[in-house]
Amino acid sequence: SAIQASKAAVKLTPTKEDYQKVYNTIAHILDEAEEYDDGSFGPVVVRLAWHASGTYDKTTGTGGSNYATMRFEPESLHAANNGLHVGRELMEKVKQQYPWISYGDLWTLAGVAAIQEMAGPKIPWRPGRIDGVASNVTPDGRLPDATQGAQHIRDIFYRMGFNDQEIVALIGAHALGRCHSDRSGFEGPWTFSPTTFTNDFYKLLFEEKWVWKKWSGPKQLQDKKTGTLMMLPTDYVLTQDKSFKKYAKAYADDQDLFFKDFSAAFAKLLELGVPSQQFVASEPWILQTLEEQKA
Ligand code: HIF
């Protein structure tokens, strides 16, 4: 009928339910990893969401998740982004199914889905990012260098607008995933359960004895007991710097506190660089896990 035809022509604003559908599609894809790494694309997608957001500079208001500039060279080729083509290509499949979503919304939503599906805390999220152009790419050097110390971590994360407590809460995400010698040069996972979100990163940091790995690769630490786990110099600094250590110990002792603080800090990270008037909802949404939707 004419009414149906005109309805089809109207471009409706996607609803929370539409984004929940995208979340669900992403969640299923994360699980289709089989032989890849530890059997999940979750960790690499969390890293994609973070690297898309962590270029933010509060002084100039540039960078952040708004324009999804990692789609363009040279940002896609920045050494810090090595290996993230894996996440970007996975998300391309989702984009084909939901062409109306912006890349910035898609990548950040994927980070949320990955954390929630890997048993992490709920991450409040809302859409509104728009696709930018190649001239919006950020300069190299805005993402952290894992070989450095506390001063560098502060320089990088204060530039984004985070404080010491938020920095330490964020770094607990290294409970997930692993380093790849062909991407960053570093090698190995931080925890024994790299596809489950836990506070094990902090527990291991304090409970294990960490020694420098003897190898030709970049300086990293390994646990003395098994030699199978790793810490980056920037991770180990959380046990050395007085202010960082206080928070890291609190998160080692209290998983609920870590989940609460991580959720707030990661939600903040994902919104960096997005003008508030662009968001379609005044408050971020809580999307449901696949498991919750079964009930
Ligand atoms: Fe990472 N991070 N990150 N990171 N990161 C790597 C991998 C992951 C830093 C360095 C590295 C955060 C902060 C910092 C994840 C998530 C987050 C790797 C290995 C390096 C070198 C890449 C590879 O070889 O594949 C540094 C220096 C950071 C500042 C201290 C965030 C807090 C922890 C912001 C964050 O969320 C995840 C997940 C991975 C695992 C990726 C994978 O493919 O498994």
pLDDT score recorded for residue 83:
98
Please tell me which residue in 50, 51, 78, 210 is annotated as part of the active site: 51
Residue 273 near residue 64 (C-beta atoms within 8 A): yes
Distances, alpha carbon 265 to alpha carbons 62, 66, 124, 140, 152, in Å:
19, 17, 10, 24, 19
Structure confidence at residue 28 (pLDDT):
98
Please provide the average confidence, as pLDDT, over all residues in the chain. 96
| Substitution site in 50, 123, 167 for ligand 1 pocket (most atoms within 8 Å of beta carbon) | 50
> How much is the pLDDT for 33?
96
Q: What is the rounded average pLDDT of the residues 221-227?
A: 98
Listed residue (113, 100, 121, 104) closest to 271, CA to CA: 104
Helices (H), the chain: 2-9, 16-30, 42-53, 85-97, 103-117, 150-160, 164-171, 200-207, 233-236, 242-253, 255-270, 290-294
pLDDT, tens digit, 9 for 90 and up, residues 35-56: 999 999 999 999 999 999 999 9
* Mean pLDDT in residue range 272-282: 95
Task: Please give the structure tokens belonging to residue 182.
Answer: 């062909």
Whether 146 is in the pocket of ligand 1, judged by its Cβ within 6 Å, is yes
Band (295; pLDDT cuts 50, 70, 90): confident
What tens digit of pLDDT does each residue of 126-138 get? 999 999 999 999 9
Average pLDDT over residues 163-186: 98
**Ligand 1 contacts CB of residue 78 (under 6 A):** no
**In this prediction, what percent of the chain has a pLDDT beyond 70?**
96
What's the rounded mean pLDDT across residues 204-214?
Answer: 98
| Three-state secondary structure call for residue 228 | coil
Write the CA distances from 261 to 122, 124, 163, integer angstroms.
11, 12, 12
Q: Are the CB atoms for 247 and 164 separated by under 8 Å?
A: yes
* Average pLDDT score over residue span 16-38: 97
Nearest ligand 1 atom to alpha carbon 235: 30
Q: Is 215 a catalytic residue?
A: no
Assess whether pLDDT exceeds 70 at residue 6.
no
Ligand 1 near 50 CB (within 6 A):
yes
Ligand 1 mutation pick, 174, 232, 239, max ligand atoms within 8 A of CB:
174
Query: What pLDDT is recorded for position 7?
Result: 57
Q: What are phi and psi of 102, to 5 degrees?
A: -80, 155
Average pLDDT rounded to a whole number, residues 247-259: 98
Find out whether the beta carbon of 180 lies less than 6 Å from any atom of ligand 1: yes
Which comes out higher in pLDDT, residue 3 or 258? 258
Q: Give the atom of ligand 1 at the shortest distance from the alpha carbon of 176.
A: 38
Q: Is 51 one of the annotated active-site residues of the chain? A: yes
User: In whole angstroms, how far apart are CA 294 and each of 85, 288, 289?
Assistant: 32, 10, 9
